[in-house]
Amino acid sequence: MSKRQLSLNLFVYPNGHHEAGWRYEGSEPERVLDISFYQDLAKKAEAAKFDALFFADALALPDNIRWASRFRLEPITWMAALAAVTEKIGFIGTASTTYFDPFNLARLFSSLDHLSKGRIGWNIVTTSIDYAAQNYSKDSHPVHADRYARAHEFLDVVTRLWDSWEDEAVVNDVPSGIFADDEKIHEINHIGENFRIRGPLNLPRSPQGRPVYVQAGSSPDGRAFAALHAEAIFTAHQTIESAQEFYGDIKKRAAANGRDPSQVRILPGISPYIGSTEKEANDLLDEFNDLTQLEYSLTHLRRRIGVDLSGYDLDGPVPRHLIPTEGDLTEITRFKLIVGIIDREKPTIRQLMHKLAGARGHFVFAGTPEQIADKIQSWFENGAADGFNIMPPYLPGGIEVFISEVVPILRKRGLFREDYEGNTLRSHFGLDRPKSLYSEAQRKSA
């Protein structure tokens, strides 16, 4: 592909990304535990030639389940079921370096990459919700710095496990009776601060070499981690200026680490509210916001900024002086994003809740199909994005209208593919297939 092209992922969230999406007419909340619901979404996205479906995860039930369907299906099971009914679209699932074991995760994702013929990505998270610890027989949740230290070691181990079989290790020579060249299968013999793992993995190298490394997080630790490891980065920004700063910083850091910046795809989230006119689009957003439930919004805000605002005048200013300025919470990317909104826009509490209701701090934009396409093109062509995670306010209708109304405009402008040019998630993202760390060529160049 000679011309730079957008990447588009469908970010699947139960009943859509607006917190009241499940209440909107046309949403299908009764189907969120029906695999055919997600398979239908995957088929629609594949027909539109999207790069991937992305599925987030959390390791504990949130305390606002009373007001919305915020439980989580297990992503690996989900990806397997969707890969079985599709052929080319990729799937990106979340798994935590804090609560998984490297060998087990390496097996699970490698198995999926084999069975899907190379269409799997791993969204690497360290888990920010502290009450997850109590679901994993732990007394307390590790602090931010410790989680990232473990994550670096985890990535090192998983990478070497996925590379422990060289590409030529499987011989499969029936006449000679040789199935594998065991001299090209390597123990990793890792002994570190958190893990002691012999290896090798009990699976050959997968079609992509390794599943695609995906990461989300814009804290200083998150940026450093992404610049070292990530091949696609999910990020949240409210302005093009913020997105440009992040984009430039990550590309520069990747280059400083000896990486090709073009091999790092930066993909902000955008939640589009689409109308035939600008007024119709804004009315649609207002209609969603009118469905929000006060208790849900206040609970979400309390969890994000550490302050209970339930006793305050909702049409008064956010009491900025109550928001913490230090501690683990202040290191979380979404906390910083929300504080940025407060400082920049000076919203009332109600306005802030509505701002976050649309997509939990990701960029919400209401407009015509042309205006949505203009915004995507502007960010793409002005150093703010390599593509986007599309975050429909409700499902399935929110993605259907984006596919039917916005995607054709992007194609007409030469920004998005007419058809897939390859069969793997790496090929969709324009990422190279990495060589095994243990390959002969790699050893000679080391």
In order of their start, the domains of the chain are 7-276+362-445 (3.20.20.30)
Task: Specify whether the CB–CB gap between 80 and 115 falls below 8 A.
Answer: yes
Helix 102-115 and helix 144-162, axial crossing angle in degrees, nearest 10: 50
Q: What are phi and psi of 269, to 5 degrees?
A: -90, 145
State how far the Cα of 90 lies from the Cα of 11, in Å rounded to an integer. Answer: 12
Distance (Å, rounded) from C-alpha 71 to C-alpha 69?
Answer: 6
pLDDT the model gives residue 1: 43
* Alpha-carbon torsion, ordered 401, 65, 214, 80, to 10 deg: -80
- List the beta bridge partners of residue 121: 92, 212
Q: Is 190 annotated as a binding residue?
A: no
Q: How far apart are CA 87 and CA 187, in angstroms?
A: 34
List pLDDT tens digits, range 83-114: 999 999 999 999 999 999 999 999 999 999 99
d(CA 233, CA 267): 6
- Give the dihedral sign, CA 304/305/308/314: negative
Question: How far lies 311's CA from each of 295, 297, 307, 323, in Å?
Answer: 12, 13, 11, 15
What is the rounded CA–CA span in Å between residue 34 and residue 143?
36
The encoded tokens of residue 406 equal 């916005």
Reported pTM: 0.93
DSSP labels, 213-235: EEEE--SHHHHHHHHHH-SEEEE
144 is in an annotated binding site: yes
pLDDT at 217: 74
Are 355 and 389 in contact by the 8 Å Cβ rule? The answer is no
Taking alpha carbons only, the member of 229, 206, 200 closest to residue 216 is 229
- Tens-of-pLDDT digits for all 446 residues of the chain? 458 999 999 999 888 999 999 999 989 999 999 999 999 999 999 999 999 999 988 888 877 778 777 778 999 999 999 999 999 999 999 999 999 999 999 999 999 999 999 999 999 999 888 888 888 898 888 888 899 999 999 999 999 999 999 999 999 999 999 999 999 999 999 999 999 999 999 999 999 999 999 998 778 888 999 999 999 999 999 999 999 999 999 999 999 999 999 999 999 999 999 999 999 999 999 999 999 998 888 988 888 888 999 989 999 999 998 998 887 776 677 788 888 899 999 999 999 999 888 888 889 999 999 999 999 999 999 999 999 999 999 999 999 999 999 999 999 999 999 999 999 999 999 999 999 999 865 555 55
Secondary structure tally for the chain: helices H, strands E = 15, 13
* Maximum alpha-carbon separation in the chain: 80
- Residues contacting residue 258 through CB under 8 Å, at least 6 positions apart: none
Q: Is 148 annotated as a binding residue?
A: yes
Question: What is the reported pLDDT for 331?
Answer: 66
Report the 10 Å Cβ neighbour count for 323: 17
**284: burial class by Cβ within 10 Å (0-12, 13-18, 19+)?**
middle
CA distance 155 to 151: 6
Rg (CA), the chain: 22
CA neighbor of 57 nearest in space, from 34, 35, 73: 73
Instruction: Return d(Cα 145, Cα 212) in angstroms, integer.
Output: 24
Residue 219, marked binder: yes
